[in-house]
Amino acid sequence: MEKKHVVVITDCKDVAFNEMAWIIRQECSKLGVEDPNIELVSVSEFSVINASFLVRLMAEQCLPGTIFSLVINPQKHRSARIYGKTKNGILFFGANTGSFNWFLKDFGVEELYEVNDPGFISFGGKYVHAPNVAKLVAGISFDSFGKKFPVDQLSILEIPKGTVVHIDNFGLMKIMGDTPKYEENQKFKIIVNDEYKFDAVFSNRMMSKEDKIWVLYAGSSLHGLPEVGAVRHKEGFKEMNIKIGDVITWEEVK
């Protein structure tokens, strides 16, 4: 049997991830599926914007039949737990926070359901998500553990152009927007939340610049999302007090 792949996209990235993974394995075993491959994609704590980007990013790579388990919900209220399948064959399970919006808009919804609500349970990622994700892995019929969910009731997460959607471990900031196309060494004023922060230059290869120089460039994610970063200086974004959700724009310096 072809090995099943589960991608847990979550800000529960300490031992909580191991707990969820073991529950998925145990429940899969009960359903006749042994040893699914389970991997972690770490989300910045409480950030539905970062979760939205990471779901969309992983969907670019994963094969049909992959199961996404999205475990993040910083909201005060409880959202419906939804699951389904995209038109390109990826299955998904998670709270209706808006973090699936980008992913489902780009890949389309083939089936959409709401799980039968067990009421509030502490650590739903372990006690609600994981057992139901195992059902998706095992191919259990969608309508056996939930009911149809209207597509027009999906929460919408608007991410304006310029929004920082991810900051990687090198301090490089991935930004919602079109691929930047400028001449090498074009100079810019970088503006964060309508406030000037620093100067930068454009480069086709940011690593060619000197240490700590701020660079705008076409990044590697989603066919060239803009990125801004300080060369070989991973603390740069902290020094500038920039975080996911901030809006970065730039003005050309003539």
- pLDDT tens digits, the chain, 254 residues: what are they? 578 999 999 999 999 999 999 999 999 999 999 999 999 999 999 999 999 999 999 999 999 999 999 999 888 888 999 999 999 999 999 999 999 999 999 999 999 999 988 888 889 999 999 999 999 999 999 999 999 999 999 999 999 999 999 999 999 999 999 999 999 999 999 999 999 999 999 999 999 999 999 999 999 999 999 999 999 999 999 999 999 999 999 999 98
CATH code of the domain made up of 164-253: 2.40.30.90
Q: Tokens 């701020």 identify what position?
A: 214
SS3 58: helix
Residue type, 135: K
Positions of CATH 2.40.30.90 in the chain: 164-253
Give the model's pLDDT for residue 111.
Answer: 98
Q: What is d(CA 90, CA 103) in angstroms, rounded to the nearest whole number? A: 10
The closest of 207, 195, 208, 202 to 246, measured between CA atoms, is 195
Positions of CATH 3.40.50.10790 in the chain: 5-153
Residue 37 φ then ψ, to 5°: -80, 125
Q: What is d(CA 221, CA 77) in angstroms, rounded to the nearest whole number? A: 32
**Are the CB atoms for 173 and 166 separated by under 8 Å?**
yes
**Are the CB atoms for 100 and 94 separated by under 8 Å?**
yes
Tell me whether strands 173-175 and 164-167 are parallel, antiparallel or unpaired.
antiparallel
Please give the DSSP secondary-structure letter assigned to residue 105.
H
Which of 3.30.200.20, 3.50.50.60, 3.90.79.10, 3.40.50.10790 is the CATH number of 5-153?
A: 3.40.50.10790
Q: What is d(CA 112, CA 121) in angstroms, rounded to the nearest whole number? A: 23
Q: Which residues contact 66 (CB under 8 A, 6 or more apart)?
A: 5, 6, 7, 90, 91
**Which residues are 175's β-sheet partners?**
164
Structure tokens at 42: 């770490």
